Chains A and B, each alone.
Chain A
Amino acid sequence: MTMQTIGRPTRPDTAAAPAADTAARGLMQSEPLIFELGGWSKTGVDLPDVGAGAADDLGDLVRAAPIGLPGLSEPETLRHYVRLSQKNHAIDLALYPLGSCTMKHNPRLNEKVARLPGFADIHPLQPQSSVQGAIELMDRLAHWLKTLTGMPAVALSPKAGAHGELCGLLAIRAAHEARGDVRSRVLVPTSAHGTNPATAAFAGYTVQEIAQTPDGRVDLADLEAKLGPDVAAIMVTNPNTCGLFERDVVEIARLTHAAGAYFYCDGANFNAIVGKVRPGDLGIDAMHINLHKTFSTPHGGGGPGAGPVVLSAALAPFAPEPWVVHDQNGYRLVEGREGPAAQASGRLCAFHGQMGMFVRAYAYMLSHGSDGLRQVAEDAVLNANYIKARLSDLMSAPFPDGPCMHEALFDDSWLEGTGVTTLDFAKAMIDEGFHPMTMYFPLVVRGAMLIEPTETESKAELDRFCDTLRGLARQALSARNDPEALQRFKAAPVAAPLRRLDETQAARKPRLKWTPPAAPLPLAAE
């Protein structure tokens, strides 16, 4: 026979491996900061020379001192940022169950069309005659948003959900002022997103909290008691942050309107009811829609978002400029307080809003259609209830009765006596390859764990997730009598790029930028 001996062992050596010599772990590279890596005269771009004296007309307006920015060649840049990217969890890697954040699949078609030069390479102040397609897209998007919400008007320019809240409250303020009605208070449930009270305060109102019933909804009696002639608006999230639909929403609207106030709805959770229920049929006056949640524009590690606000007929005249108008001459942006926008409540930002997000959201809407969007809500709610059903025998749900909407809420009472906290449990999930759920929010539930699977998870992935959590839950419960089990939770994560980070040190001695070490800089050879 011929003996082919070139090769390598095909079984791993069972002996314990020594730790790696460098800080790297296998494919996970240890990556310095660009300031420790780059060269001060190095660059990854090739630019033409402009000759001496190119800026001699500027005299002492020219900066004298160096800026302090290193550069890298293109291959080094790619490697640096690709290495960094691999230290991130992402929805493309696994379920990302952050309740209230709606991490769903981001279709790549939307990325492709947003990059068409006809959208990506048009200037916001080009003559409107040269951007008719862009304004038409804004008009179409507006039509879909209005139809899906049953509301007569929409302001497109807000740049994120919180900006949308501001937009809504400014319209509400303008509407009151137009009647000579001065109001000073805004009512917000305790379970609200922090942006709600922050926005109300930003818009010049004092904030008062509305109590919650034992079943996780707005306490109507408390609402009624707190409504009065000085209340400008209520801000209620629906479905709310406990993942529950406000059953009394119509009555909430009636009471609010009877007091002369407006009903602002935080629409962060619109994805649970899109195509099933229209906010306009519930008595809502204004609601922002996070395009980066319901309509799946990518979160990008913290933004950008987009927060168009749908408005009732009472508030429509007070939408901020610009307005999108369509008449026989085509599509037009009304950019000042004129014509139909004479009562506009003021500009919220430069230009016209997050066009890049509009394109993606519109492509998402067209892809799903009216039938698919309805299915989106149904599947999101189905998936959340499936998780709730599969975990409720081990983990405690604070509102066990009846279905939840798009997210399943658990508390930490089931962990009592184990020594394991919500934080420990969440960190242990990291070692199992999952991003933790939203923790300690909403504030009204102790040790909250808010799980939002979204509609873009398969049953197989949901089962993998539930099986993993069930296994962890059993271990957590065993920690009551098992110090080793407890240690597993306290030490977690151990398999992530880093272990738990010292947030106390970060806050006590803030280091918010890189500063050169006293020793000579470890610059790459130039």
Chain B
Amino acid sequence: MRYLPLTADDRAEMLGVIGVADIDALFVDTPASARLAGPVGLPRHQGELEVERELARLAARNRPAGAGPSFCGAGAYRHHVPASVDHIIQRSEFLTSYTPYQPEIAQGTLQVLFEFQTQVAALTGMDVANASMYDGSTACAEAVMMAARVTRRAKAVLSGGLHPHYAQTTHTLAQVAGVQTVRLAAKVDAEAEVIAAIDGETACVVVQTPNIFGQVTDVTAIAEAAHAAGALLIVVTTEAVSYGLLKSPGEMGADIAVAEGQSIGNGLNFGGPYVGLFAVRDRFVRQMPGRLCGETVDAEGKRGFVLTLSTREQHIRRDKATSNICTNSGLCALAFTIHMSLLGEAGLRQLALINHAKARRLKAALEGVEGVQVLTTRFFNELAVRLPMDAAEAVEIMAGNDILAGVPYSRLDPQAGLDDVLLLAVTETTQDGDIDLLARVLPKMLAGKKGIA
């Protein structure tokens, strides 16, 4: 077996050194009644060729987003990742290292984390960022828990523009912690309605920009209203490339900024692994969840980096920890940092502009389709449109024509009564021809549908 170095002779010799007759003597503490006599009923081991063949068979039953036009977004975006990113993250020293518990021999990982934290703090316009969370949705939920701790209040107001999966994830965690979540009605301009829902019991307000409908909002006034009521403002972003063009959460008064970082450095991967960004104002550092890397010096005075402020964390504070998170998204954060370093400020801004320009082209094309109403008015690279039919059905029909036409809002939030709303995103990977094709096929599909009806 190719991954197991011990030979039969090795095993026999080692059992001799241990002083037992056979391997079963080492499993003597397991209940005899539960000990399996032989392998369970699953296939036996296979060679690399056979395994690769089976995985390739499964992969072939999926239609890659890049194999044709794709307009799927809603929290996961197909961007171009430079080849060098994937090369570096596959280096043994990054790929096969553990959490940097021994800083003397983990400076590579630690310096990357310090760079990552600095980049995330800059992008979000916040003071401090942590070393990553699992993804944007769990970062959002943790931010709400943190706000409840900081304010000692137990109510979170969630905008109707918040990604429904984020709202659901937050609700799951909040309900068991005794924190009530008030989710406002889903609509394109939902952020505008948040202020009216803030009261003296509100721990935090969670808004998203660009929101699930693609709408971009200046949340400065919401920050002011939240702060006036003693609540914190949490700003969620699911498309990190938008930071290159839009006002940052920090500029608009956010107390906590969380985001999905997948867009930078990471592929779609059917939803994971991704990388959650989590950044706060200085005064909240000790209430943050997750690992933090800090600068210090070694015994010779040389600069170095260590994990720090660990007394917040589960391995020290146990049931009083700020979170139960241990493993995070280290390698995805590395990919983020490398891609960000390649882009630089100039590249990121240019990338963001291209994304936006594509979206303007998409908007113009959709506005030319009879019966389609573009709902989003201020957007980055994503639009919500109202179709004259069920959006889920439309997406299935379009998929039959090898066009991934976007995400029906109802898939995320079936009860909202927005069955005719379709979410479409574009990125730099979207070709103008893809948009043109969509604009040509969509009317035919709608007409055909009308015909069927």
Within 8 Å by CB of B102, from A165, A378, A430, A506, lies A430
Contact A198 B323 (CB under 8 A): yes
Contact B63 A85 (CB under 8 A): no
Is A6 at the interface (CB under 8 A from chain B)?
Answer: no
Question: When chains A and B are docked, how far (Å) is the Cα of A350 from the Cα of B45?
Answer: 34
B387 on the interface (CB 8 Å rule)?
no
Contact A351 B115 (CB under 8 A): no
Of A10-18, A53-61, A256-264, A412-420, the segment with at least 4 beta carbons within 8 Å of chain B is A53-61
Q: Quick one: which of B62, B163, B273, B334 contacts A350, CB cutoff 8 A?
A: B163
B368 close to chain A: CB less than 8 A: no
The stretch that binds B, out of A88-96, A220-228, A472-480, is: A88-96
For chain A residues 255-285, which have a beta carbon within 8 Å of chain B?
273, 275-278, 281-282
The answer to whether A469 has its CB under 8 Å from any CB of chain B is: no
Select from chain A the residue with minimum beta-carbon distance to B294.
A506
Interface residues contributed by chain B, number (CB under 8 Å): 201
Q: Which residue of A lies closest to B111 (CB)?
A: A84
- A82, A160, A244, A457 — most chain B CB neighbours (10 Å): A160
Those 3 A-B pairs whose CB atoms lie nearest each other, nearest first: A71-B344, A118-B59, A300-B331
- B328 nearest CB across to chain A (Å): 4
Contact with A along B64-84 (1 / 0, CB 8 A): 111100101011101000101
**What is the minimal beta-carbon distance from A158 to any residue of chain B, in angstroms?**
9
Interface-forming stretch among A309-317, A481-489, A490-498?
A490-498
Give the contacting residue for A430; candidates B14, B104, B118; CB below 8 A: B104
Return B136 CB to nearest CB of chain A, in Å: 7
Contact B309 A44 (CB under 8 A): no
- Min C-beta distance of A470 to chain B, whole Å: 13
With an 8 A cutoff between CB atoms, is A356 at the interface? yes
Are A122 and B103 in contact, with the CB atoms below 8 A? Answer: no
User: A468 near B: Cβ within 8 Å?
Assistant: no
Is B297 engaged at the interface, CB distance under 8 Å to the other chain?
yes
Report yes or no: B345 in contact with A302, Cβ–Cβ below 8 A. Answer: no
- Please give 15 more A-B residue pairs, beta carbons under 8 A apart, in addition to A87-B108, A126-B63, A507-B294: A42-B344, A45-B342, A48-B354, A74-B342, A77-B338, A93-B92, A202-B176, A206-B319, A302-B100, A350-B271, A352-B272, A370-B39, A455-B6, A498-B107, A512-B293
Among residues of A, the one whose C-beta sits closest to the C-beta of B140 is A350
The interface residues of chain B lying within 8 Å CB-to-CB of A281 are 31, 33-34
Residues of B within 8 A of A127 (CB): 395-396, 399, 404
Say whether B27 contacts A47, CB under 8 Å. Answer: no
Asked whether A302 and B353 contact (CB < 8 A) given A117-B66, A350-B136, A459-B10, the answer is no
Instruction: Confirm or deny: B112 has a beta carbon within 8 angstroms of a beta carbon on chain A.
Output: yes
Expressed in whole angstroms, the Cα–Cα distance for A370 and B165 within the complex equals 37
Give how many A-B residue pairs fall within 8 Å (CB-CB).
715
Interface string of A352-381 (1 = CB under 8 A from B): 111111010011011111111111101101
Cβ < 8 Å to A, chain B residues 332-367: 332, 334, 338, 340-348, 350-351, 353-354, 356-357, 360
Known: A43-B347, A300-B330, A369-B46. A122 touches B63 (CB 8 A): yes
User: In the bound complex, what is the Cα–Cα distance between A31 and B297 (angstroms)?
Assistant: 15
* Cβ–Cβ contact B271 & A366, under 8 A: no
**How far is it, in angstroms, between the C-alpha of A373 and the C-alpha of B29 when the chains are bound?**
20
Is the Cβ of A160 less than 8 Å from the Cβ of B327? yes
- Which of chain B's residues has its CB closest to A250's CB? B31
Min CB gap B180→A, angstroms: 13
Q: B347 to A85, Cβ gap below 8 A?
A: no
Which residues of B (357-385) have their CB < 8 Å from a CB of A? 357, 360, 378
- Are B308's CB and A122's CB within 8 A? no
Q: How far in angstroms is the closest Cβ of chain B from A67?
A: 5
**Smallest Cβ-Cβ distance to A280: which chain B residue:** B34
Chain B residues with CB below 8 A from A459, complex form: 5-7, 10, 13-14
- B163 & A194 in contact (Cβ 8 Å cutoff): no
Question: Across the interface, do B62 and A119 meet the contact criterion of CB distance under 8 Å?
Answer: yes
B318 CB contacts on chain A under 8 angstroms: 194, 197-198, 207
**Is B211 in contact with chain A by the CB < 8 A criterion?**
no
Whether, in the assembled complex, A1 has its beta carbon less than 8 Å from a beta carbon of chain B, the answer is no
Interface string of A284-325 (1 = CB under 8 A from B): 000000101000001111111110000000000000100000
CB within 8 A of A131: which of B270, B329, B345? B270
A67 and B348 contact, CB distance less than 8 A: yes
Q: In the complex the two chains form, what is the Cα distance from A39 to B306 in whole Å?
A: 26
The answer on a CB contact under 8 Å between A498 and B302 is: yes
> Can you name 26 A-B residue pairings with CB atoms under 8 Å?
A55-B245, A67-B248, A70-B341, A70-B345, A84-B111, A91-B92, A109-B48, A118-B60, A124-B76, A159-B135, A275-B36, A275-B40, A278-B36, A281-B31, A299-B96, A299-B98, A301-B112, A303-B132, A303-B134, A350-B166, A350-B271, A372-B4, A382-B23, A461-B5, A491-B299, A512-B295
